[in-house]
Structure 1
């Protein structure tokens, strides 16, 4: 054998390294979307996560490293301004040349309107298969649907030198007016932005992500689309698992901490009875808490769910005198390792937490 012949294993390693080096720089806003992008990029490159685990996406201060990731990005994938309104200014300032994709505005995305009431209208189970839209007249495809959005102005044009950022503890829980309308005092668009909790949306977005990556990096287009196809099959299989996990407790009633789960509820025909808070950005009014307490008593609600980022005393107030069980539901997968496997495990965890609390 010639001493100049390179071993096959070394050649493979060199080529793999070249593929990673040649991959576009990609930045992603939240961990569930990062998981989708990481799955499509598997074997080619790794996206950068902007909003770190445990932080609220609604209010966030960029670390210098996260600002640099935006500055270096060739492509950015984010949910859109309805979820992270502060990020729009950051994108304009730090990533003006990047190809930016808002998944909420992507063709084929099914959007649901916000539910503003504390109590949700009950509906029957079993009328549709997991992942179907059902008969929700308010579901819309996102094609120019953000024309009426009104958001608070955020100045996040520059990287903050402070390495300490929002960890869920920096919410301003000041005094809130007691009327129901004041629960809705934060600016928002018409649509619920927690659309990643719909497996159907996730499967649509795998193709959107693969298309955008392939346009920027045609040499790896085959890998991107093959990964997207495999990911869609994985999510379909996980959806079947989730449905089976929820089947034994379908007649049970539960209350969520904030109204972030209606895409999951719709996909699996597993409706919540109400939400303690309309948003994780505001505290519930006493009137809203009283409504929830009434629903718990009237419907025999057996489970009230909290979230890891927020004050458990709010749930304790709601539970005063009630016999319901409590558990934790996390729409962001804050305790999961970021990466390709986070999204399917997030769906499993939601189902398991619900089933355990309702059993």
Structure 2
């Protein structure tokens, strides 16, 4: 009598064969890094995000759902303890591969944080907003590609094709933005939060100063008085606020000066992740500088 496989076993085998392969999961700390990851993972998976774009990485606290995302992640991409200090301990509890884009000693950073909290301030010795420089983000994309390829070698060809496409598009966008912004090199401005130095330096813009280093803290009265003095002397043509924070202090300082108001979003709040999302983000920043600084 011929052996017959029970129908239940056949159904089980078919269901296992039809089950989707677990997707390659990347978690980014902040949204601009998620936008770069989305270009690399196009057609493969959708990268996750830990810090909502309406929040600040300077003072964020992970929720239980964030911890679950970390537990499922294959790769976690973050700047480092100088920016996302809240991630230092949680990342010690995950088996995910970690890609830290800026060198830093967590112990030293925590000690510095304690000191600055005691002094009533918060200051970064280095500019942690790496995503403001397209050259650094091209390097970051290459590191992401290499790390993901090691985790999932079968995705290597797709990851490399996506990287090559992203690199070509980013270099073209960078050349375009240089041409658009070069006429504005002598137009002075202030920003609310010291987050744009790398963008300003890369494109040769004239930032005169900022209201605060840490957007979670109000700037001091003496500092605000100095800014108002420069505005009254017509040193600046624009002051930029941010959508994540109330601009009442900016309104108060600029009242009666005739200076223009702009709004820069350091965390890409309104940009939807996709293959061209990071380019759209750079374009949006450049567009706001153009709008507010043009004669």
Q: TM-score, normalised by structure 1?
A: 0.71
Deviation at 1:331, TM superposition (A): 1.2
**Contact 1:80–1:102 (Cα < 8 Å) also in 2:** yes
Task: Kindly report which structure 2 residues correspond to 1:80-119, keeping only aligned pairs within 5 A, or say none.
Answer: 80-93=80-93, 95=94, 97-105=95-103
- The 3 A distance-change label for structure 1 pair 145 and 151 is closer
**1:216 alignment partner, one of 151, 154, 171:** 151
**1:315 alignment partner, one of 226, 237, 250:** 250
- The 3 A distance-change label for structure 1 pair 36 and 196 is same
Query: Considering only CA atoms, is the larger Rg found in Structure 1 or Structure 2?
Result: 2
Residues of 2 paired with 1:187 and 1:254: CA distance? 23
Task: Kindly report which structure 2 residues correspond to 1:268-307, keeping only aligned pairs within 5 A, or say none.
Answer: 268-307=203-242
- The 3 A distance-change label for structure 1 pair 146 and 89 is closer
Match of 1:77, SS? strand
Greater per-residue helix proportion: 2
Q: Which residue of 1 aligns with 2:141?
A: 206
Residues of 1 paired with 2:105 and 2:204: CA distance? 25
**Contact 1:34–1:339 (Cα < 8 Å) also in 2:** no
Residues of 1 paired with 2:275 and 2:165: CA distance? 12
- The 3 A distance-change label for structure 1 pair 235 and 308 is same
Alignment of 1:258 with 2:256, yes or no, is: no
Gaps of 5+ in 1: 1-16, 106-143, 154-180
Deviation at 1:270, TM superposition (A): 1.0
**Contact 2:122–2:213 (Cα < 8 Å) also in 1:** no
Match of 1:86, SS? helix
Q: TM-score, normalised by structure 2?
A: 0.86
Q: Which residue of 2 aligns with 1:41?
A: 41
Q: Which residue of 1 aligns with 2:182?
A: 247
**Contact 1:333–1:342 (Cα < 8 Å) also in 2:** no
**Contact 1:57–1:83 (Cα < 8 Å) also in 2:** yes
- The 3 A distance-change label for structure 1 pair 187 and 275 is closer
Match of 1:282, SS? coil
Deviation at 1:297, TM superposition (A): 2.6
Task: Kindly report which structure 2 residues correspond to 1:148-227, keeping only aligned pairs within 5 A, or say none.
Answer: 148-149=108-109, 150-152=111-113, 185-227=120-162
Residues of 2 paired with 1:77 and 1:186: CA distance? 27
Task: Kindly report which structure 2 residues correspond to 1:71-82, keeping only aligned pairs within 5 A, or say none.
Answer: 71-82=71-82
- The 3 A distance-change label for structure 1 pair 51 and 316 is same
**1:347 alignment partner, one of 282, 285, 288:** 282
Aligned length: 275
Deviation at 1:63, TM superposition (A): 3.3
Q: Which residue of 1 aligns with 2:5?
A: none
User: Does 1 or 2 have the higher relative contact order (CA < 8 Å, sep 6+)?
Assistant: 1
Residues of 1 paired with 2:24 and 2:191: CA distance? 39
Match of 1:260, SS? coil
Match of 1:100, SS? strand
- The 3 A distance-change label for structure 1 pair 33 and 57 is same
Deviation at 1:241, TM superposition (A): 2.0
Residues of 2 paired with 1:103 and 1:271: CA distance? 27
Residues of 2 paired with 1:247 and 1:267: CA distance? 11
Q: Which residue of 2 aligns with 1:166?
A: none
Residues of 2 paired with 1:204 and 1:227: CA distance? 14
CA RMSD of aligned residues (A): 2.3
Deviation at 1:244, TM superposition (A): 2.2
Q: Which residue of 2 aligns with 1:333?
A: 268
Deviation at 1:188, TM superposition (A): 4.9
**Contact 1:332–1:346 (Cα < 8 Å) also in 2:** no
Residues of 2 paired with 1:300 and 1:246: CA distance? 19
Match of 2:24, SS? coil
